[in-house]
Structure 1
């Protein structure tokens, strides 16, 4: 879309045309001038805001649906209020309740959609990368219902993963129903997913960061603004329903000093190592299920048996477990009980997730990481009582660091832990711990828990978002200044003789054709000149068979490259402000610009690797 405030007008085909062009060049095709912000962004932002409101209420519906299933399965009562399976009095039959839920999820996956399996974010990433952000409409209904069944019957998952997946599916559906581009659908998908997370935890900023790090794969105002509006709207809905208090309130934390801060960072590094093995364990278990001699539809039932068996001995491992996170962060769960919960939750969750049932990763990882951080913090407090280590900060750092290491969403993890506790004294330890966890995880593990499955399917997931190198270089800095031109009145025979004689410049693959005023009117290639069916006395202007495509010296190389692709050409005449021909830009010039960047990067890498 052209920028309405730009100095360019629009030609008949909708492409911008510079008003300073000479009449001879009035039909020349030039790169479109795209606006950073326009009315279309406002429209998508309005849709995203409405999507955030809907996602906010959907989150409440799903949480109540989970409560209903839990109450029916474990307490035989009709209620949508939150209830933990840990308080049941069913005895050993509790082992079979998660298995029953697994059977229902397996049936829904086989006869409804396989996409309900898993925690939802990798599946959403796959649709963004491979399917232009098109998620089947039925997932908007099947994912929350399957998740409510899996979690409500005791599955060791949080509600946030399915809500994120449902919000993303709703955003994708909205983009498919309306006339939107693939990029706009991606924005709506990310907006719905972020709204789901914000509605669950009241964490709008970290929801936006999570969308950037795991779904958008870019950092542009056109996409961030709608996602932010959706997150704010969803959080507003949550506040109107449950109030503005933090999800996990904590007692006032102690102020970190230099030594304690170093220990918090070390805890983040330790938890980063744990995140690597947690991720590997999940996929090892998933691979083990792949070798079972039964249909995958029955795997969630087997996983449910394991969940029920572990839950029989350690009831706190069942269900969403938000009460466990609260107990860990408040230092109300210590010692052996903390260790048992950490190990049992990890075992139950990894088996359930590996079996392919429907559930999330955030809450289980927070429980495991928080418990691990609290355990290490307790040991440090005993060993170094004068250092000033706060076990509650250790738990907070462990909770965020394990997600940062497992998912590689570093900023989202650190900010999320702050938003759900509203403890500003934890921000510095969180940033240090999450950074250390990310570093260790990236060094020890090629892919994250979110991308390993995609990598196995041959999908390449972007991991670094940097400014476009070509967008930083102007055409005038890369274009060839020495241009070999042909006259419009020159005959075809003369041009052929010149080429066959091998004169200077005759070996080029393309030649701008200029008129008597020196203005370019077209481009002819060697093939045009040597294979044209015209008579030798024909003027070269008669051989021009397509509209002239040009670029200005003030355009960026990215705009020029896009224009080459759009026009299907390998070279563009470069015009100055007065429409005069000042150079020519070829594909080789674009590659040479990249070569300069690669050389500087490779020199830096060799310098680092030199002993």
Structure 2
């Protein structure tokens, strides 16, 4: 039963079992996100004036200056002691584990993200909670899969489930969570992944709503463009969103590269100092800042205030994310987009008062455009603002602003997405080769052959006949009880038929035959891992094994080049 389940999960077209795993991953992720949010919000109600969440504006200038510094010291000390200063958190860490470690994530990273993210948000750092949420969701789902010993192709699906569930639970936007996971984290859309990811997203939202209710995070005004004559202004908003996103990416990239060799404690403390200095002038830059976003959406901030907050938020976010504070970039991106959009909305009102829409409308469009351009996630951004407004009339102007913003960043300034840029700054490359992606969806257990026999190198004639009676296609010749050589069984049969001398013993390494060196691969591996191993050692075949006990390999099958090529063609 267990073996059949494993083989089924290895298939690229498996449906029911991945869906059930996705449902479980979504529930677990929802619980983790709820606990994280409760910790942050309860801590802020204790620390901040009037027991209000995100009320950093109510603090005097001295605690606004010192709180991020103290938080930076704590974060730096925590990561230095536990992770030796390595940055093992965030969405880019999830992408790194997907690209280089087949989605295997660690408990240590999950705990560091939970504690570090909470300290960052309690300390008023200019980061969002969605980045930590994605890491925690992905790590929770990955650890679930590792505990259940699922194949690596299913582990990748569980990473997608956890990422989608985290975004969905954070914003109450289940569809946007699914699209974000596919568009940003996985960088591919596959029919086989949609069902488990959708179930994970819906289940996580259900857990979140059961605790926090279904009240929207943002105060969205009634949306309408008063005239098609406003479309040029929407286009201008998209252009500036692309410019600002490019500026943010470049600033973060330069900061991350220059500070790469600095001690982590120094980086987080310096980040706290810069954020504290920014907060002395504009306290709105502290924390997630969704209260200020709501003010922009409701047109409650003046033009000069919007421009000032926008400028200092760029500086504070560059310091926080670029210097390694364990928070997210999505929240600051939405914040900056809201300030930019509201400012352009006011300018539109001053310039064309006869048909200008409310500035809050442009704040919402700015959020979508900035998110799309910075994350390279146009469809996720459009879906998010559609779900947040529940108003389909936003699609038309939203598409215009998002497309122009994305084209400005990618084609005019030739900048990668923020996550790709930060990965490159760390010397990593998250490639999206279609062949590799196709092979990553299939586990070796689903295509391996079981027509083999394992044998010592020296056997008797009688043993040879017994081997051939099992009708294997391939013989795996052992060296010190480990398969080292693969030989076609037909070559042994031919030798027995043609040999004039009936030897008592046959040395399979000496008889005329086609022999090839062989190496092993775990049955949880994907065909992508198998193809890489074959190419690295110039092999024709691998043997597939399981490890029911430490240091004990149990042979399960064989896999050759032709099987991999056939799977790709399918």
Relative to the length of structure 1, the TM-score reads: 0.69
- Say which of 26, 30, 41 aligns to 1:67: 41
The alignment of Structure 1 onto Structure 2 pairs a total of residues equal to: 473
Partner-residue secondary structure (3-state), 1:235: helix
Paired position in structure 2 for 1:455: 424
Q: 2:23 aligns with which of 25, 30, 49?
A: 49
Judged with a 3 Å threshold, the aligned counterparts in structure 2 of structure 1 residues 42 and 413 are, in CA distance, closer, same or farther, namely same
- The equivalent residue for 2:57 is 86
Instruction: Give SS of 1:340's match.
Output: helix
Superposition pairs of residues 546-565 of structure 1, within 5 angstroms: none
CA contact (8 A) 1:249 1:420 kept: no
- Choose which of 276, 281, 286 in structure 2 pairs with 1:308: 276
For structure 1, the residue ranges without an aligned partner over 5 or more in a row are 5-13, 16-31, 471-520, 523-527, 548-557, 571-585, 595-611
Q: Determine the C-alpha separation between the residues in 1 that align with 2:260 and 2:513.
A: 61
Let me know the Cα RMSD of the aligned residues: 4.1
Task: Name the counterpart of 1:440.
Answer: 408
1:238-280 residue CA offsets vs partner (Å, 9 max, x unmatched): 2222333322132212246443234313321221121111110
Deviation of residue 445 (structure 1)? 2.9
Provide the C-alpha distance between the structure 1 equivalents of 2:114 and 2:393, rounded to a whole number of angstroms.
36
| Counterpart Cα distance in 1 of 2:85 and 2:400 | 36
Aligned-pair CA distance for 1:162: 0.9
What are the within-5 Å matches in structure 2 for residues 125-204 of structure 1?
Answer: 125-204=95-174
After TM superposition, give the deviation of residue 120 of structure 1 in Å.
Answer: 0.6
Residue 340 of structure 2 corresponds to which residue in structure 1? 372
Query: For 2:296 and 2:188, how far apart are their aligned partners in 1?
Result: 35
3-state SS of paired residue (1:236): helix
Deviates more, 1:253-262 or 1:208-217: 253-262
Matched, 1:230 2:200: yes
Q: Measure the CA separation in 1 of the matches of 2:141 and 2:365.
A: 32
C-alpha deviations, 1:470-489, integer Å up to 9, x for none?
9xxxxxxxxxxxxxxxxxxx
CA distance in 2, matches of 1:568, 1:130: 22
Corresponding residue for residue 430 of structure 1: 398
**Correspondence for 2:373:** 405
Aligned to 1:483: none
CA positional deviation for 1:93:
3.9
Do the aligned residues in 2 keep the contact of 1:314 with 1:344 (CA within 8 Å)?
A: yes
Following superposition, the deviation at residue 96 of structure 1 comes to 1.4
Per the alignment, do residues 242 and 384 of structure 1 end up closer, same or farther by CA in structure 2, a change over 3 Å counting?
same
| C-alpha separation in 2, matches of 1:93 and 1:334 | 26
Measure, in 1, the Cα distance between the counterparts of 2:280 and 2:319: 15
2: distance between equivalents of 1:119 and 1:274?
A: 26
Report matched runs for 1:483-498 at 5 Å: none
What is the CA–CA distance in structure 2 between the aligned matches of 1:425 and 1:263, rounded to whole Å? 17
Asked if the contact 2:178–2:198 (Cα under 8 Å) also holds between the matched residues in 1, the reply is yes
- Asked which structure has the greater CA Rg, the reply is 1
Give yes or no for the alignment of 1:270 onto 2:244: no
State how far apart, in whole Å, the 2-side matches of 1:52 and 1:129 are.
22
CA contact (8 A) 2:65 2:280 kept: yes
* Alignment partners' CA distance in 2, 1:114 and 1:401: 38
Superposed displacement of residue 67, structure 1: 2.3
Residues 54 and 288 in structure 2, CA contact (< 8 A), matched pair in contact too: no
Q: Which moved more, 1:423-432 or 1:335-344?
A: 423-432
Q: Distance between the aligned counterparts of 1:197 and 1:160, measured in 2?
A: 6
Give 1:456 deviation, angstroms. 3.5
1:207 CA drift (Å): 0.8
Cα distance in 2 for partners of 1:340, 1:303 equals: 20
Q: Deviations over 1:71-93 (max 9, x none)?
A: 44445x9x7x73422212x4424
- Hey, what does 1:518 align to over in structure 2? none
